[in-house]
């Protein structure tokens, strides 16, 4: 017995081995990790959009768009795994300009994510990882 979900063949046969099961569903670990980071940070920004805008020297509108991109994008990446390929891709696409902006405006110039006097918010290591993971989901969608 098998079904096709979003272009991926998911075998539901009881004889399916653990390795095959893990391979079929491994995308969830990456998907949940990516989405949880963005949902968490999006909620924080939505709760204090004005403060975020002031801290980053952004207009209120841009700060709100960043917060919404993170929050909504996170839910779309998770929902896409349960529904359609394009939902995953859309969610991931929301993260890319946010990460490029974060790297360019705050984290460029230092690699290590650990903050220091010159870069109190840390370097670009984590942001580059989030950017590349987002690009992966944008390109691969549910065919991960």
Residue 128 located in a structural domain = yes
Mean pLDDT, the chain, integer: 87
Look at the chain and count its residues: 144
pLDDT of residue 130: 97
Residue 3 located in a structural domain = no
Residue 15 located in a structural domain = no
Residue 17 located in a structural domain = no
Cα gap 92→31, rounded to integer Å: 10
Q: What is the mean pLDDT of residues 45-66?
A: 97
Global confidence as pTM: 0.80
pLDDT of residue 111: 64
Summarised one tens digit per residue, pLDDT across range 95-131 is 999 999 998 888 777 766 666 677 676 678 889 999 9
Residue 7 located in a structural domain = no
Cβ 85 vs Cβ 6: under 8 Å: yes
pLDDT of residue 123: 73
At 144, the pLDDT band (50, 70, 90 cuts) reads low
The number of folded domains in the chain is 1
Residue 38 located in a structural domain = yes
Residue 72 located in a structural domain = yes
Range of the domain at 119: 27-140
Bridge partners for 11 per DSSP = 2
Residue 36 located in a structural domain = yes
Find the Cα–Cα–Cα–Cα dihedral 104, 71, 86, 26, rounded to 10°. 90
Residue tagged 């998911």 (tokens): 10
């Amino acid at each position: 017995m098998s079904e096709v979900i979003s272009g991926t063949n998911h075998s539901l046969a009881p004889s399916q081995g653990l390795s095959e099961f893990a391979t079929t569903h491994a995308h969830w670990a990456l998907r949940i990790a990516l989405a949880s980071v963005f949902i968490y940070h999006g909620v924080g920004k939505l709760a204090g959009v004005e403060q975020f805008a002031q801290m980053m020297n952004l207009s209120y509108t841009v700060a709100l768009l960043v917060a919404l991109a993170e929050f909504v994008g996170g839910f779309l990446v998770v929902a896409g795994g349960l529904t359609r390929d394009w939902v995953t891709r859309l969610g991931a696409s929301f993260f890319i300009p946010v990460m490029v902006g974060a790297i360019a405006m705050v984290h460029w110039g230092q690699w290590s994510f650990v903050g220091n006097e010159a870069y109190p918010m840390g370097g670009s290591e984590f942001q580059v990882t989030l950017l590349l993971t987002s690009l992966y989901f944008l390109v691969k969608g549910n065919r991960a």
